[in-house]
Amino acid sequence: MKYANEIFFFVVALIAWGLLYGSRFILTLGKASQAEKLWLTALTLTASSFTIFAAASTLSLSLLTLANTFFIASFIYFGLFCRSLNGPVTKNVHFIVVAGLLVFAAVFEYLRQNGLFIHRVGLISLIGASCFVWELKELRRLKGIQSTQLRFLVYTIAIELVLTIARLVALYIDGGLNTPNLYQEGVISSSIRWAWLGITILSHVAVLGYWLEKISLEKTQAIQESSRISALLKEKERLIYGLLKANKTAATGALSASIAHELNQPLGASNLNIQFLKMKLEKGILNPELGKEILDSLEADNQRAASIVKSLRSIFAEGESSTEKVRMGDLISNVLDIVTPELKSKNIQIQLRADDRLAIKVNPAEIEQVILNLLNNAIQSLANSGTLLRRITIEATQSGRLARLSISDNGGGVSAEFRPQLFELLSTTKQSGMGLGLWLCKHIVTRYGGSIHYEDALGGGATFVFELPSAS
Ligand code: ADP
């Protein structure tokens, strides 16, 4: 068939261009690696050389020098691609390659005009075979890359090597000395050349498969990574929950003595009243007014004890994670119920200004814990300072769409050096401190889309302000 070679070249050129088109995702995925660029160059050269081979017999046989130069260049760049899998290729290599190719083109052109076809095939086969041996050596050196596609590539290159030599031998046996050019090559050597070029395409397919294999591996790793991250996030939540509990325990520890004292008062008074009542009843001398008076007093003591227990339960209750609309004033008074004995024993005055309508949508126990932490810190700061007129001011106001609560004391305040790490985990200036309180306050408040910050109080001392979306 007259144009069999041209048609063959045209078909393999089409396949090579198709492969190149299908590989453009490499360039659009992000920054292409050196190996990817070198392989794309090799594939472009392969596609270009096959295209010129297909057209040269019709346009001009002198184009064969260009086609063969591109052909050889494609092997060299394929070799550089294999080399780059083992480590980076220096930029100077490109200059050396281009210079070498110019020399090759000159020699080839000389042979085209003055030499025999078999000499030119000999030259191509020699360079081609050297490239294949080099590529195989580079692929064998590969460590740490487990790829079925690269293993397949070793086979295709080995076959290319065998076919290159086989074609030269076949050409020599099959009247090579009288063959003018590749379009008139004998059937056997032509068939071997076709098989060889077909395998060249397979080598490129193997590399494309390698990139796809790599992407899917990276994707699997990314999926594993993201599930590891979500496990870590869950772990973080568990840890924070643990810290919340630890902080509650610490806060209870600090206050337990005074809470016990506060509970003992109504309970002790009740006990006395009951003894008194019993005595009067036994003697049968209880008049109705006195009886009512004693019962009223018992009821008041009972209510006082119940209110302390209720406040404690609301703050230290477990597992309440649902939110509800609550009045800020109620949260403050729940906490004050707990700290009042402490305030009394340390001679601290409380000034409270709370907007009655101010409401927020939160889990009350959490915000009560924030208020308790801030009050506790203020109490400790006042206890450690030499201030005689100890005062804590609590202000709850509406500020635009936010509910704003500030707790100020006239204690020692926070030093400028310590301020940057004030809300950081485990940062404390107290000997027995844990550095948990303010970090947790910030964690809780930000979870509700709010914020917390420190200001110097007017006239000295500390002011902590937190703001939450208002539900008033
Ligand atoms: P801890 O109370 O265990 O130290 P916190 O996180 O509650 O942990 O507080 C961190 C630090 O912030 C305290 O050690 C203290 O130095 C400082 N601090 C907090 N509140 C006040 C305050 N009202 N006045 C002065 N310093 C404060």
Q: How far is the CA of 349 from the centre of ligand 1 (A)?
A: 20
Q: Is 425 in the pocket of ligand 1 (CB under 6 A)?
A: no
Q: Is 433 in the pocket of ligand 1 (CB under 6 A)?
A: yes
State pTM to two decimals.
Answer: 0.54
Q: Phi/psi at 103 (nearest 5 deg)?
A: -65, -45
pLDDT at 98: 95
Residue of minimum CA distance from atom 10 in ligand 1: 428
Tokens of 40: 């794309």
Q: How far is the CA of 80 from the centre of ligand 1 (A)?
A: 63
pLDDT at 259: 63
Q: Are 251 and 243 in contact (CB under 8 A)?
A: no
pLDDT at 45: 97
pLDDT at 314: 58
Q: Is 252 in the pocket of ligand 1 (CB under 6 A)?
A: no
Q: How far is the CA of 376 from the centre of ligand 1 (A)?
A: 9
Mention every residue, 6+ apart, whose C-beta is less than 8 A from residue 419: 454
* Pairwise CA distance, residues 388 & 261, whole Å: 24
Q: Is 387 in the pocket of ligand 1 (CB under 6 A)?
A: no
Q: Is 170 in the pocket of ligand 1 (CB under 6 A)?
A: no
Handedness of CA 296, 298, 300, 302 (dihedral sign): negative
Looking at the DSSP bridge assignments, the partners of residue 404 are 397, 467
> How many C-beta atoms lie closer than 10 Å to residue 450's C-beta?
21
Q: Is 413 in the pocket of ligand 1 (CB under 6 A)?
A: yes
- The ranges of the chain with pLDDT < 70 are 1-2, 30, 144, 247-262, 310-321
Looking at the DSSP bridge assignments, the partners of residue 362 are 324
pLDDT at 251: 61
pLDDT in tens, 79-98: 999 999 998 999 889 899 99
pLDDT in tens, 94-141: 899 999 999 999 999 999 999 899 999 999 999 999 999 999 999 999
Residue of minimum CA distance from atom 19 in ligand 1: 377
For 464, the 3-state DSSP assignment is strand
Residue of minimum CA distance from atom 25 in ligand 1: 413
Q: How far is the CA of 440 from the centre of ligand 1 (A)?
A: 12
Tokens of 380: 């400790």
* Pairwise CA distance, residues 204 & 201, whole Å: 5
Exposure pattern of 217-239 as b/e (b: 16+ CB <10 Å)?
Answer: eeeeeeeeeeeeeeeeeeeeeee
Q: Are 73 and 38 in contact (CB under 8 A)?
A: no
Residue of minimum CA distance from atom 8 in ligand 1: 435
Q: Is 406 in the pocket of ligand 1 (CB under 6 A)?
A: no
Q: How far is the CA of 253 from the centre of ligand 1 (A)?
A: 16
Burial grade of 432 (CB within 10 A; 0-12, 13-18, 19 or more): exposed
